[in-house]
Amino acid sequence: MIVVRAVKTTDLDAVVALAQETGPGLTTFKPDPDALAARIARSKRTMEGQAAPHEAGYFFVMEDTATNDVAGVCGIETQVGLEQPFYNYRVSTVVHASQELGVWTRMSLLNISHDLTGYAEVCSLFLSPRYRAHGVGGLLSRSRFMFIAQFRDRFPERLCAELRGHFDADGTSPFWRAVGSHFYQIDFNAADYLSAHGRKSFLAELMPRYPVYADLLPEDARQVIGLTHRDTAPARKMLEAEGLRYQGHVDIFDAGPVLECHIDDLRTVRESVVVPVVIGEVDSVDPLASGAGPAQAPRERAPRSLVANTRLADFRVGFAPGGVEDGVMHLSADDAAALLVREGDPVRVLVTSHTQQSQKS
Amino acid sequence: MLFVRPARLSDLDALEQMARAARPVLHSLPHDRHALEARIALSEDSFRAEVDFPGEEFYLFVLEDATSGKMLGTSSIVAAAGYAEPFYVFRNDALIHASRELHVNRKIHALTMSHELTGKSRLAGFYLDPAVTGDASAHLLSRARMMYVAANRRRFTPEVFSLLLGVTDEAGTSPFWEAVGRKFFARDFAEVEKISGGRSRTFIAEVMPSYPLYVPLLPEAAQRVLGEPNAKSLLAYDIHLEEGFEPDRFVDIFDAGPVLTAQVDRSACVVSNETRIVRERTEAASDADPSSATAATTYLVANNRAGEFRCALAELPLAREEQAPLTSSVRAVLGAVAGDAVRCVPLHRASEDEAATAESQADLDGETAALRATHPGVRR
């Protein structure tokens, strides 16, 4: 079974090895053993309640329990912007109107904002290219919502996710070309790297101090404000299915959208339930076996569920066939073992239809 | 012999023709005959009035050909621009964006709507008949205003400014307007230019940007024309520089044309002024001996005898002690008689005059070009 679980100190080598698969470009997950060790230690402190509010954050790995292969990572920051400011542009509306002239124009203004300060953030998702065909991207991403649902008290009122913005075929961001490059005077990757590694003082020194009229920017830059990178579109769809929405905040470098929502409105928080486990034979092959009526179309796949244990430091979540029936969740012995649960233990279950899974991300 | 004098009501026909011929329209010269008549009357009153500080006065000048009696051009001074309403320009601010950690340091220009020039005296309404050839006439018509300002300091502010036409293409489209103004107004430049009548209407506050515009973020075409004079205004631009005006601090809010400012104290008409006494000189002497022993150069000569301002060009000896030997035709247009004190300002700066030969004009062109090249690019 492929599970997502809380990271352990002993995962360091595997995580560093995984980071080597990122190649150039992705600046937030680099094979830097010191930085990754610090990240793992921070997650551990957070689990243990030893982390200060500004540094609290969780880090998870995806592992194939059959092979112990670590194939993905993801994270949650508990509250962003409490140490280094969390910068975004807020896209606001200004109307310029004159009755005398009969003029009425609506314009967009980009304002530097710290609006998302104190939000939780889902972040740092990376899935090995070796696993992208397996439909496990959804598991990796949604594992965090299962964790948040289970440990709701550990998180604030709202949540956000920053998505990479649009890049041209040549790998450059039109928004960066039109705006950031003039102010930051270093290349996009360098700026992104510094910012992702908490060295944000240059932002305050160099960023535009006045609002920027979006309508006055070149067409190609204007077009990409709030637009998602092609490769990130499936991730966006998935987050939107979870209930996150673009509400006018964009990244200051590439104008990629920030999706946000109230944590209590997350689909996983609203719809997942905690039930006891029953271990036994689970028929995952015949769709009609799980009590479905004859009206069900034959080509529809069997339901499957995200199933998580309810332990903190040993948190684990994976996909299992079936759903909650008669107030219990049936798990095969293998799956129960992979999730570290025994007969009668509580598990959190979110029924998902198989067809909803994104194929990649 | 051309000379500049205050406009009179009897010039109404000629001024009406010039107002209609001027492209683009001169906000200071209305097409409507009655409105134009009122402007001329205001100007006559202004010239006559005892003024202790600038107010609603308006000074209208005409360029007249003494031989034919024809009006060949006009120019004006608004004593206090935007007297009743704020006068808007973009102030060109330089913001330093520097990071010691990253070893970067950059000057970023931003255009901020400004009222700073409100109430300052403004040179305006320049129109020269296209049939007039030679730069000297344009110099005379333009700089006569500063000759008047220099002689009448109380009537004007210590700093004066002038707005020149910005760059437009053959179709009259302004790249800056397309990139900025159109986004706010959703109208054609020409249309708004017509109704806006002089950069001091309230709708400008309602419609134009309330936050600064970062210059590097504007489209290339708009950046390129920032503070650049229209081809039609190149000569006027050079004349202003010669007079001591500075470009770059402000640009027009609509077409980003240059808004030049000058401290009157430091303008050529004050700094290079030589008050000389008129002496009689025969026409024959000047014709017969153009390269007389004493080197001569062209001067702006202004007289204010009996309250009637006059300004003309005349060749005067460089040596001040020679005073101002003027031919009878020059004395006539200036209304000057021997013994009068007249203001004399070299048409071109001393450094060029020292070259004093045919090349002097070439040097001058070279210098103004250099001035423009160093003119710190609003666009960097």
Cβ contacts of B219 on chain A, cutoff 8 Å:
218
Q: Cβ neighbours of residue B75 under 8 Å, at least 6 residues apart? A: B4, B61, B63, B123, B124, B125, B126, B127, B141, B142, B144, B145
Which portions of chain A are predicted below pLDDT 50?
285-299, 354-361
Query: Between these two residues, B47 and B199, which has the higher pLDDT value?
Result: B47
User: What is the per-residue pLDDT for B344?
Assistant: 95
Per-residue pLDDT averaged across B55-62, rounded?
A: 95
Which of B26, B85, B83, B29 is CA-nearest to residue B56?
B83
Q: Which of B88, B107, B184 to mutate to test the interface with A (most CBs of A within 10 A)?
A: B184
Chain A residues in contact with B108 by the CB 8 A cut-off are: 182-183
**A183·B183 Cβ contact <8 A:** no
Domain spans, chain B: 1-80+123-156, 84-118+158-271, 272-347
Say how many CB pairs under 8 Å bridge A and B.
Answer: 90
| A208 interface with B at CB cutoff 8 Å | yes
Q: Among all residues of chain A, which has the CA nearest to that of B105?
A: A185
Positions of E strands within chain B: 2-6, 58-65, 71-78, 89-99, 104-114, 121-128, 159-163, 213-214, 246-251, 258-263, 274-280, 296-303, 310-317, 324-326, 341-346
pLDDT on residue A24 = 59
pLDDT at A253: 94
Q: Give the end-to-end CA distance of chain B in Å, rounded to a whole number.
A: 45
Residue A196: per-residue pLDDT: 81
* Per-residue three-class SS string for B133-193: CCHHHHHHHHHHHHHHHHHCHHHCCCEEEEECCECCCCCCCCHHHHHHHHHHHCCCHHHHH
pTM: 0.80
Cα gap A110→A90, rounded to integer Å = 6
Q: Give pLDDT, residue B199.
A: 64
Active-site residue set of A: 229
pLDDT, position A361: 38
**Bridge partner list, A121:** A77, A160
The mean of the pLDDT values for chain B is 85
Distance between CA atoms of B51 and A14, rounded to whole angstroms?
A: 87
Going along chain A from its start, the domains and CATH numbers come out as 2-86+115-267 (3.40.630.30), 272-356 (2.40.40.20)
Q: Which of B192, B202, B206 sits opposite A96 (nearest CB)?
A: B206
A111 in contact with chain B, both atoms CB, cutoff 8 A: no
pLDDT, position B198: 58
Inter-chain contact A185–B195, Cβ cutoff 8 Å? no
Q: According to the model, what pLDDT value does residue B370 have?
A: 38
**φ, ψ dihedrals at B26, nearest 5°:** -95, 120
Q: Do B217 and A199 touch (CB under 8 A)?
A: no
Fold of B272-347: Barwin-like endoglucanases (2.40.40)
Contact status of A245 with chain B (Cβ, < 8 Å): no
Nearest-CA distance from B187 to chain A in Å? 9
Segment B55-84 mean pLDDT: 93
Q: Report the chain B residue with the minimal C-alpha distance to residue A203.
A: B99
Cβ B183–A215 below 8 Å, yes or no?
yes
Chain A stretch 249-278, residues whose beta carbon is closer than 8 A to a beta carbon of chain B: none
Q: Which residue of B has its CA nearest to A222?
A: B217
Phi, psi of B64, rounded to the nearest 5 degrees: -120, 145
Interface test with A, best of B85, B91, B96, B97 (most A CBs within 10 A): B97
Say yes or no: A105 contacts chain B, CB-CB below 8 A: yes
In this prediction, residue B354 has a pLDDT band, given cuts at 50, 70 and 90, of very low
Per-residue pLDDT band at B108 (split at 50, 70, 90): very high
Task: Out of 3.50.50.60, 3.40.630.30, 3.40.50.620, 3.90.79.10, select the CATH number for domain B1-80+123-156.
Answer: 3.40.630.30
Q: Which residue of B has its CA nearest to A211?
A: B211
ipTM over 0.85: no
Q: What is the pLDDT of residues B78-107, one digit of tens each?
A: 999 987 678 889 999 998 888 888 888 889
- Sign of the CA dihedral running A251, A253, A255, A256: negative
Q: Nearest C-alpha of chain A: how many angstroms from B165? A: 22
Q: How many CB atoms lie within 10 A of CB A349?
A: 24
**Neighbouring C-beta atoms of residue A200, cutoff 10 Å:** 18
Which residues of B sit within 8 Å Cβ distance of A?
95, 97-99, 101-102, 104, 106, 108, 110, 179-180, 183-187, 192, 195, 201-203, 206-214, 216-219
Nearest CA in chain B to A185: B104
What confidence tier does B64 reach under pLDDT thresholds 50, 70, 90? very high
Amino acid at B176: F
Partners of residue B181 in chain A, C-beta under 8 Å? none
Q: Which residues lie across from A58 on neighbouring strands? A: A76
User: Is the pLDDT at B353 greater than 60, yes or no?
Assistant: no
Yes or no, beta carbons of B99 and A205 under 8 Å apart = yes
Shortest distance between the Cα of A311 and any Cα of chain B, in A, equals 44
Kindly list the residues from chain A whose CB atom is less than 8 angstroms away from the CB atom of residue B185. 101, 103, 105
What pLDDT was estimated at residue A312?
Answer: 95
The H helix count followed by the E strand count for chain A is 11, 16
| Predicted pLDDT of residue A107 | 92
Is the CB of A105 less than 8 angstroms away from the CB of B207? yes
* Unique residue bearing structure tokens 């492209």: B23
